[in-house]
Chains A and B, each alone.
Chain A
Amino acid sequence: MAAQLKPGQGPLDYGSRLWLKILFGLIFFLLYAPIITLVAFSFNTDKRGIVWRGFTLDNYSKAWNNASLIEALTNSLVIAFLATLIATVLGALVALMLWRFRFPFKGGYEGFMALPIVIPEICMGVALLLFFVNSGMMDFFVAMPWPLNLGNIVIAHVSFCFPFVAVVVRSRLVGFNRQLEEASKDLGASEWQTFWSIIVPYMKPGLIAGALLAFTLSLDDFVITFFTSGPETVTFPVKVYSLVRRGVSPEINAASTVLIVITVVATVLAMKLQAPPKPRKG
């Protein structure tokens, strides 16, 4: 018989080894300590936000009453909403096309389509700025009333969000059983009916996950927005940046915490919806 193993000595008992525990602790600390500090100090009474003086919610009400901050937040949410909507539809169509059809240079297109995912944001920003300015779209949109003046930012956001949607939806479609489509047609459904009642329900988790990904990406984008926004338009990340330059205030902590909460909630939802349904016993 084999000798008795002590806990932690089994071949897969990594979790109970000391050096691994320390490494885990260190990584988690480095990752989350700054965020936790930021959230904690949003409840601080100290004006300069460096020393802990006591608990308060004042920062939140101040942030709420700061009209320019709220305007920036509204802009960000509107942009994120519109960009998500358009990017999801576009991304889903691209994914469907890549999944369904064969055409010349398909491989090339597939790589090219995903380019915005890997291109440095700064390059995207500069490129889009030049495009908007030279094509006259910049002047056109800036002169528009709200919310149409956000048009150029929405376009920019769509252009870097839709590849994410396309990639997520495409990977979902890979698992689709083509016989379901054939069965649907065999049962009398037209192409269009089959699409809406068989393929779209199958894509749904991918669509939702892709949409939430696009939403969070758009909501906290700074670089591209900074380059493509007109002089008057401010989004939330850009506003926070300009406030920070004038000195750190707990108000920014409060506003940032709100943004973190929105992003985290969206991400958790995305993960929940993308997870395969657990087979129930029955």
Chain B
Amino acid sequence: MSEPIVAIRNVSKKFPGGVIAVDDVSIDIAQNEFFALLGPSGCGKTTLLRMISGLETPTSGQIIIGGEDMALTPPNKRPTNMVFQSYAVFPHMTVAQNVAYGLKVTGVESSEIKRRVAEGLEMVKLTALADRKPDQMSGGQRQRVALARALVKRPKVLLLDEPLSALDAKLRDDMRMELTRLQETVGITFIIVTHDQDEALSMASRIAVMEKGAVQQIATPSELYEHPRNRFVADFIGKVNLIDATVLGQKGRSISCDAKGLGKIEIASDKAVGSSVSIAVRPEKLRISKGRPENKSVVKLEGTVRDVAYYGDTSHVVIEGKDGLNLSVNVQNDTRLGGAGVERGQKVWVQWAPEDSIILTE
């Protein structure tokens, strides 16, 4: 990676009262990245974002933006702009005045302000509403004002705190595409905070998954999904079946282990003998068949269908095997009348390719 535009070095934040909101976080974010901070509520995403913007001071560690240490730079002097979770649009100003505000206070020439405000409103498609007051606008429109207001400042880094959380599902989809399009056209680094994994997976070029103030993994969306580093990430990103197992022996590049409900199976891995691991496998990687699968190399078990939930494009089937092992299987409803093709109480076989399982230790 070339020189990162934002470098977060061992940053921690401890609030008075003892809450450690951010715990020794280090992240490098490259120029023009669409970077997402993803994690459950209260894991410190907002706090980290506010430290980048300068609205919060780290207890320890360094934040470097554009090669400069920001420790002594107040928020109004940083090359970052923020879109707040509650938008924070100025209620006593019109849309155009809101967008112009950031330029006006920094002494940009008035003709230049006019040009850039028009451009900014055009960008978020609010030109027609330029003279409205915020209290006469919908949540989505206000959000676009907040976006335009930050974009016209042409920051090096745009920070977005859960920008889509207040919108309904349809509008959220539209705005998601809008944001991706904007990011590509303006060429600004975006750092977005979200607790919605779909949002992060679909928009971001890289994602940092956080839990309890610490970063669990930083990777591209597909890497996170297919190669989660630990149980938390595997479980947080998408759905996953976690099967407890103990490593019995090693043979070349694969291990044999004793898995709950499966018995002895062999999987490619290099985990140490004796360690207890989790075999993680995504529900859509599993197949259901009525008879015993003939293929010798697949992992297979017999079980009873406990539940079938219909979701339109897919059905989610829960199958109970031996030792109380429950597996979720996603079945594509690829014919109109077939559905999942199984019924509650039915005996079926489940199979998957061993290379589709991931061995996790943490």
Contacts and interface: CB of A to CB of B under 8 A. Distances in A.
A and B are partners in one complex rather than unrelated chains: yes
Interface of A: 177, 179-180, 182-190, 193, 197-198, 201-202, 277, 279-282
Nearest to B159: A186
Nearest to B50: A182
B57 to A, nearest CB: 13
Nearest to A187: B102
B76 A190 contact: yes
Most B CB within 10 A of own CB, among A180, A186, A189, A277: A186
Nearest to A202: B92
B105 A197 contact: yes
A277 B28 CA distance: 47
Contact of B84 (A183, A189, A193): A183
A193 B105 CA distance: 7
A202 B54 CA distance: 24
A277 B74 CA distance: 35
A182 B81 contact: no
A282 B84 contact: no
B92 A184 contact: no
B335 interface: no
B273 interface: no
B37 to A, nearest CB: 18
Nearest to B149: A187
A4 B86 CA distance: 48
Nearest to A201: B92
Contacts, number: 67
Contact of B101 (A187, A190, A202, A277): A187
Given A179-B86, A193-B105, A186 B136 contact: no
B108 to A, nearest CB: 10
B167 interface: no
Contact of A187 (B81, B86, B91, B92): B81
A198 B92 CA distance: 8
Interface residues of B, number: 27
Interface of B: 53-55, 74-77, 80-82, 84, 86, 88, 90-92, 101-102, 105-106, 132, 135-136, 146, 149-150, 153
B278 to A, nearest CB: 41
Given A182-B75, A183-B82, A189 B105 contact: yes
Contacts of B132: 282
B76 A186 contact: yes
Contacts of B55: 182, 185-186
Contacts of B80: 186
Nearest to A181: B88
9 contacts: A179-B84, A179-B86, A180-B91, A183-B88, A184-B90, A184-B101, A187-B153, A188-B102, A193-B105
A182 B106 contact: no
A38 B90 CA distance: 48
A6 B87 CA distance: 50
A246 B167 CA distance: 73
B92 A177 contact: no
B135 to A, nearest CB: 5
A120 B106 CA distance: 51
A186 B135 contact: no
A202 B74 CA distance: 24
Nearest to A279: B135
A198 B150 CA distance: 17
B53 A188 contact: no
Contacts of A189: 76, 101-102, 105-106
B75 A185 contact: yes
9 tightest A-B CB contacts, nearest first: A187-B102, A183-B88, A189-B105, A179-B88, A282-B136, A188-B106, A201-B92, A185-B75, A185-B76
Nearest to B55: A182
Nearest to B85: A179
A193 B75 CA distance: 14
Contacts of A183: 82, 84, 88, 90, 146
A177 B86 contact: yes
Contacts of A179: 84, 86, 88
Contacts of B101: 184, 187, 189, 197
Given A186-B82, A187-B101, A202-B92, 15 more contacts: A180-B88, A180-B91, A182-B82, A183-B90, A183-B146, A184-B90, A184-B105, A185-B55, A185-B75, A190-B76, A193-B105, A197-B105, A198-B90, A279-B135, A279-B136
